[in-house]
Amino acid sequence: MVLTRTIQPPREPRDASLHHVPCDLVLSIDVSGSMNAPAPAPSKPGEPDEEDAGLSVLDLVKHAARTIVETLDENDRLGIVTFALHSKVVQELTPMTNVNKATTLEKIKAMRPEDVTNLWHGVRDGLGLFEPGSSSRAPALLVMTDGLPNTCIPGKGYVPSLQPMMPLPATIHTFGFGYSLKSGLLKSIAEIGGGNYSFIPDAGMLGTVFIHAVANLQSTFATNAKLRLTYPSYLKLEETTGKSVVQQEPVYIQGDVPEPLMSLTIPLGNLQYGQSRDIYLRYGDLLPAIQAAAAAGGTVNPSPLVTAILEHQEFTPTTHQTVAHQNLFTFPPQPALDPAEIAYHISRSAIIAFLSTFFPLNAELEHKTPQSVPPNTSKRFRSLLADLPASRPEFASHAGCRSLMEDLRGPLPADMSEDDEESGSSGANTDPSTWSAQIPLALLGRAESYGASRSSKSHFKRWGAHFLPALAGAHARQICHSFKDPGPLQYGVDSPLFKKCRDRLDEVFDTLPPPEGSLVPRLVQNPPSYSPPAGYGNGGVNYNGNGHSIMSMRSYNDSARGCFAGCMGVLLADAKVIRVGKLRKGMEVITPRGPRKVQALLRIPVQDIGMCLVPGRSGPDVNKGAQGRNTALLVTPWHPVTTNSEGPWVFPKDIAVRSVRYTGAVYSVLLERDEDPDAHAIFVGGVWGVAMGHGLTQPGTSQDGVRAHQFYGDYDKVSRALARLPMRSGGVMMGDFRKQWQRRVRCHFDQPGKKASRREARRSKAVAVAPRPVDKLRPVVRCPTIKYNRRTRLGRGFTLSELKAAGIPKLYARTIGISVDARRQNLSEEAFAANVERLKEYKNRLIVFPRKSNKPKKADTPKDQQTAETTQQIRASFAISQPVAAGLSEISKSDLPSNVEGGAYKALRKARSDARLVGVREKRAREKAEAENAKK
């Protein structure tokens, strides 16, 4: 049986002139070194990343911060905190006037990546900017990070460290950028803070996420809302939305009550104008429960009464209460809900509970993020879809139920009408190939790969593990968090203020300039690609047919940025044909405008990438001389080509006869400078292929729109970028190496796994050669500080004087497993004697096998003594012990002096003050006594 409680805030504010609720916002921005990583390129789910326009993750965060600043006015206040190794208050809460906005934008622009990630200080100091109860604005802390904290992590966890600070002065909303983040941690912080967690995989989600986040804050009706339910103990109410950080267990009500009662508190966080909060609870059959309670001898009220108390604050410390009662034996319940509405709330709760099972809480109250979905996920998902009340045909016309089914299945197929679905004649509910929604895509992979473990794992690990917690949170808090998902789009539809704020923010966002990249655009990325960019790797600029350049964050760069396979034949000026990989600087090739010299050749090794096989035009078989086969070109899908020197230029994917998976090297060519764009093309594989630096940077015609590129069309930019790459002889640039001197050299040599495996290989080899220890004998030394001088530890190596006293030559010592440190001196007679004794003991126990068994040397161990017990670890055989000085004993706690009342610090300060002021106080007392005597 079910119990549904609905909290319905006012539809709109009493003040009709209020265009948004004033807010106090604090941005806590991650400026750690990991934020300098290249920003993920927007791509379709399941497809690899596309173009890189030089944007870092921090560039996206700064653009998000600028978006928020532009949406505020003088009634709002904004504060900024940055965090890396330490947190820094960049700006206190400041009214967003036009002058202050300009100052704030300059501060945001000046942010630069630093070192490590101290997320805890960013959250703590961000909350510290708020003054509890002193503002009539809606307070919120927005934490923007890539979610990879690596220093100053609270020992007991983030959530347990925030719990003593409750109630928090503001709600906490977390925004995770990129695909490498701890989404479970960010969701837990948002839950304890009464806020929402949002996932921003790339720049394509920036606008929609922050527009809705700020619109929800600007339509806030109340904060710190809680629903307290009081009911008979036999009722056993249960929440149905899965585990969360703020979920509380029911407690018995103590005191003089007529019957055993229980209380359940459900935190609600913020309430928005016009958007209800619907709580769906479950309980068992009443009659058996009442009979069992009566049989136990308790006082039982045969009419189970549930009392609901709503507590909330309207931006002031004053707590408002609203009380409602319901007798569960009243039939029908008053007021009665529509069956479709009940089915909607039951289904919504079931979806939240289903998604929450993939992200359980650990001991630190942090949602765990698994690396893959369980094997039975497909079966569980089918069962969920079959059991949901929203999937019944009679509820298909209900907007809420329909939106939930679109979350689970995707939109109806084009050949299926609503009447078909209502009649149940379609198989869309059971055919996995029709499930195009985000939830099955994240859990099960692509529809055409349904059941394939590889597809499921890649989708879930890359973005599903971060997207699903955000979707579940939006459904749980009943907020619209983006334009993307059908289910959450139903929230806020009855709130005129929310829609007005969202439309206004959407208009402001459309007028913002695109984010500025701080990184050098990379010429290659490693993942394979066969996904379409919006233009020829256009750096975010698309030609829309109207002569306008628009910013498209949907595609940055073709992952296979190289052009031609190295085995393709290229036509030289002397009519010879050689492989593209054999081109060198200074060679002349044929172009549509005559011979041109090669200025540079970019070589990029690739593995298993998608390439297109394009047929060449009839004529000289240029590949036959190089490969001995018919004319054809193997080229990356988005490198412009033409079969005629006069055009038209097209993408290879549009004219390819088939696709090929290619592993090897691909090459791009830079010819000598020429103002004519047609002079930058080479004849390779019977096809004209465009070269870099052709001069077309802005699309002017549809012809130019294929070749135009802001970076690859600019000769100077390409030349400067190539100059940063290592160069082999003949002007061949190595595209798999990238040097950025401002940020450090990146050579792909940082391979700790290989380092560890090589060390283990050396140890295994050493053990196999002879039964010798794999570590070395080290001296016993004392820690150099006063505090730890009584402790002993192993030092770096023995001194030369210690070796001489033990009769061991310094060169010979290194060959028998003794560490030597010629720089060290030992001036302690006790330590010197102990180390000499340690060396002698080692020498006596040492077994030195002869290199040649028939020719032993003087220092080798005699054959009759080579059967002694051996050891593999010197550290274990020659362990050190911590000495205890004679006469020292541990003092029991009872013998310690008692604590000074008020604290020793205050007592010492008072004693010092009394000693310093004794003369002054005596003088004052004497003068006071004389004054009293004078009065007499």
Domain end call among 330, 363, 391? 330
pLDDT digits (tens, 9 = 90+) for 847-895: 887 877 778 787 787 777 766 666 767 877 788 876 666 666 767 777 7
- Same domain for 215 and 243, yes or no, is no
User: Does 318 share its domain with 203?
Assistant: no
Q: What sign does the dihedral 467-473-476-477 (CA atoms) show?
A: negative
> Does 700 share its domain with 782?
no
Q: Are residues 365 and 440 in the same domain?
A: yes
My answer on whether 310 and 368 are in the same domain is no
233 & 202 share domain:
no
pTM for this predicted structure: 0.58
Give kind and range of the element (H or E) at residue 303: none
Please check whether residue 909 lies inside any domain of the structure: no
Assigned domain for 176 exists = yes
Report the CATH number at residue 145: 3.40.50.410
Q: How many domains does the chain have?
A: 5
Give the H/E segment covering residue 113.
Answer: none
Answer whether residue 96 is part of any domain: yes
Structural domain ending residue among the three candidates 292, 308, 330: 330
Same domain? For 75 and 191 the reply is: yes
pLDDT computed for residue 405 by the predictor: 87
Residue 524 located in a structural domain = no
**Angle between helix 339-356 and 377-387 (nearest 10):** 170
Q: Residue 40: what pLDDT?
A: 60
Q: Produce one character per residue of 877-893: b if its CB has 16 or more CB atoms within 10 Å, e if not.
A: ebebeeeeeeeeeeeee
Helix (H, G, I), strand (E, B) or coil at 577: strand
SS (H, E, C) 8-60: CCCCCCCCCCCCCCCEEEEEEEECCHHHHCECCCCCCCCCCCCCCCCCEHHHH
**What's the CA gap between 339 and 336, in Å, rounded?**
9
Residue 803 lies in a domain: yes
Distance separating alpha carbons of residues 327 and 325, to the nearest angstrom: 7
Cross-strand pairs, 232: 261
627 and 710 both lie in a single domain: yes
H helix intervals, 396-448: 399-409, 418-423, 438-444
Q: What is the CA radius of gyration of the chain?
A: 37
Could you tell me the two tokens for 604?
A: 């990029």
CB-CB contact of 471 with 408 (8 Å) = no
Q: Which pLDDT belongs to residue 705? A: 67
Q: What is the pLDDT of residues 712-729, one digit of tens each?
A: 888 988 888 888 777 777
Q: What's the rounded Cα separation, in Å, for the pair 157 and 167?
A: 18
3-class SS of residue 778: coil
Asked, for residue 639, whether it belongs to a domain, the answer is yes
Find the domain containing 742 and state its range: 541-746
Please report whether residue 897 resides in a domain: no
Where among 268, 297, 330 does a domain terminate? Answer: 330
267 and 202 co-located in one domain: no
Instruction: Write the CATH number for 651.
Output: 2.170.16.10
Residue 232 lies in a domain: yes
Shared domain for 194 and 273, answered yes or no, is no
Q: What is the mean pLDDT of each run of 10 residues along the chain (936 residues)?
A: 78 85 92 79 47 72 86 90 91 92 92 87 92 79 87 87 89 89 90 92 80 91 89 80 85 72 87 88 68 58 78 84 78 63 88 90 85 83 86 86 84 49 44 65 59 54 86 91 85 89 83 72 37 32 32 33 81 90 91 91 82 72 41 85 81 84 87 90 90 81 68 86 77 60 49 72 74 80 81 91 94 89 91 94 85 77 71 77 66 77 87 92 93 87
Residues 169 and 281 placed together within one structural domain of the fold: no
Please give the structure tokens belonging to residue 287. 């009659």
Please indicate, yes or no, whether residues 150 and 200 belong to a single structural domain of this protein.
yes
